[in-house]
């Protein structure tokens, strides 16, 4: 892995960063063609990332004294493998792309996985996001075409449990 460029500073997010985290999430939703899909709030992020029982960690990338991107991850448990670091998202603001910020965030996240002593990492990439796919290939990761993602939103979850 390469050393971190001197013009990029990576730091752990703090509660005071909740608004910028939400802004980055919304920017990603626009990029992924789902601008109205974000229901997360600043209060959710404050509680879930910085409360008594954090559900995630977040690394922020600063470039030229601005927040340029983030990596948001958490530990999931695999019945086959044990503790796995799940990389939920790497987000780099459009105006900062091409400055090695995504690479630096990914590499720092992988370093955190090693520090946490997990048995591997997992993440997803949209099948149409060719730049990201090519980027991940440089890290020799495995692409899994076998599994199908299943999701339920809050409304679906409530409806399903009422029927039980």
3-class secondary structure, 139: coil
Q: pLDDT tens, 25-34?
A: 999 999 999 9
Catalytic residue among 74, 77, 136, 139: 136
Position 145 scores a pLDDT of 87
Residue 1 predicted with pLDDT over 70: no
Indicate whether 1 belongs to any domain: no
Tell me whether residue 2 is in a domain: no
pLDDT at residue 43, rounded to an integer? 98
In a domain, 100, yes or no: yes
For residue 37, the tally of other CB atoms under 10 A from its CB is 13
Residue 97 lies in a domain: yes
Whether residue 104 lies inside any domain: the answer is yes
CA–CA–CA angle 31, 48, 129 (5° rounding): 20
The pLDDT score that the predictor gives to residue 123 is 95
Sheet of 66-78, strands arranged across: 8-12, 57-63, 66-78, 82-92, 121-122
- Told to judge if 136 belongs to the known catalytic residues of this protein, a careful annotator would answer yes
Specify the CATH number for the domain of residue 122: 3.40.630.30
Residue 26 · residue 41 · CB < 8 Å: no
Q: Provide CB contacts within 8 A for 120, sequence distance 6+.
A: 78, 81, 84, 85, 113
Domain interval for residue 59: 8-162
Summarised one tens digit per residue, pLDDT across range 137-147 is 999 999 998 88
Classify 64 as helix, strand or coil: coil
The model's pTM = 0.91
In a domain, 3, yes or no: no
Indicate if the pLDDT at residue 49 is higher than 90: yes
pLDDT at 83: 98
Overall domain count for the chain: 1
77-126 residue pLDDT tens = 999 999 999 999 999 999 999 999 999 999 999 999 999 999 999 999 99
| Helices and strands (H and E) in the chain: how many | 5, 5
18 assigned to some structural domain: yes
**Structure confidence at residue 5 as a pLDDT band (50, 70, 90):** confident
Is the pLDDT assigned to residue 59 strictly greater than 60?
yes
Under the banding of pLDDT at 50, 70 and 90, the label for residue 148 is confident
């Amino acid at each position: 892995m390469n050393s971190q460029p001197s013009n990029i500073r990576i730091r752990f997010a703090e509660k005071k960063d909740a608004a910028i985290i939400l802004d980055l999430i919304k920017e990603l939703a626009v990029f992924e063609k789902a601008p109205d899909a974000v229901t997360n709030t600043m209060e959710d992020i404050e509680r879930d990332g910085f409360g008594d029982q954090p559900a995630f960690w977040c690394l922020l990338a600063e470039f030229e004294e601005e927040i340029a991107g983030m990596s948001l991850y958490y530990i999931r448990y695999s019945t086959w493998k044990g503790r796995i670091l799940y990389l939920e998202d790497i987000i780099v603001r459009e105006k900062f792309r091409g400055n090695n910020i995504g690479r630096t965030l990914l590499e720092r996240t992988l370093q955190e996985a090693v520090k946490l002593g997990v048995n591997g990492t997992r993440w997803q990439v949209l099948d149409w996001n060719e730049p990201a796919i090519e980027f991940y290939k440089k890290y020799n990761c495995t692409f899994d075409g076998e599994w199908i993602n299943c999701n339920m939103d809050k409304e679906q979850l409530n409806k399903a449990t009422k029927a039980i």
